[in-house]
Amino acid sequence: QEPWLVDWIGESDGRSVLDLEHHAEPLASARAATLATSVLEGVIERGTGQGVQAYGVHGHVGGKTGTTTGGRDAWFVGFTESLAVAVWVGNDTGELGLPGSRAALPVWARFVAASGTLSADDALPEGLVVARVCEDSGRIARPQCVHTYEETFPEDAVPTERCDVHGGPIVEAGRALGRLFAGQRE
């Protein structure tokens, strides 16, 4: 949607002097937007953006760090459900600077934490599902997987292979036999 600065002006008694209507059209489908959002939320949950959590920024938040090759420019671009903010930090000397995760991210996180825009998760659009993934194997997590994360997938593209690092057929068979004989004693 087009950005705007003022949408209502009123008198001290509450009478409206100016009330503007705004027209907005979706730029992407809800499904595509949710998948892109999931990727950027992953940066916060388990990537270079994890540092925002130290500033009390949690919930429905996503973003991306960035640093130019020489380290002269660093940035963090991120969003909540109602706010998008980009922070750029650079130096004119051309000397090595800090990466985006150490220079721009703290500025962004402090601003967002103070903004009051953090909110709870919303329902997923139709056709999308959330699955727990094992960090070590990149496959659907088993109960034995210690390091896992949630990822959003189109329901027709959810990975079907389960983690082959933790557990597996032998462990699963052993558990099934254990349950089968758990109630029997000699």
Output phi, psi for 148, to 5 deg: -130, 165
Distance CA 121, CA 144 (A): 27
Between CA 92 and CA 103, with CA 98 as vertex, the angle to 5 degrees is: 95
Average of per-residue pLDDT across 142-169: 83
What digits encode the pLDDT tens for the residues 77-124? 999 888 899 999 887 776 767 788 888 999 999 999 888 777 655 566
Find out whether 105 and 49 touch, Cβ atoms under 8 Å: yes
Of residues 87 and 128, more confidently modeled: 87
Say which amino acid occupies 94. G
Between CA 63 and CA 71, with CA 68 as vertex, the angle to 5 degrees is: 110
Give domain limits for the chain: 30-115, 128-181
pLDDT exceeds 50 at position 12: yes
Average of per-residue pLDDT across 172-185: 57
Find out whether 22 and 4 touch, Cβ atoms under 8 Å: yes
Of residues 120 and 134, more confidently modeled: 134
pLDDT at residue 172, as a whole number: 52
What digits encode the pLDDT tens for the residues 33-61? 889 999 999 998 888 888 887 787 877 89
pLDDT at residue 186, as a whole number: 45
Q: Look at residues 120, 99, 96 and name the one whose alpha carbon lies nearest to residue 87.
A: 99
Average of per-residue pLDDT across 20-41: 85
pLDDT at residue 129, as a whole number: 81
pLDDT exceeds 70 at position 63: yes
pLDDT at residue 36, as a whole number: 92
pLDDT at residue 151, as a whole number: 82
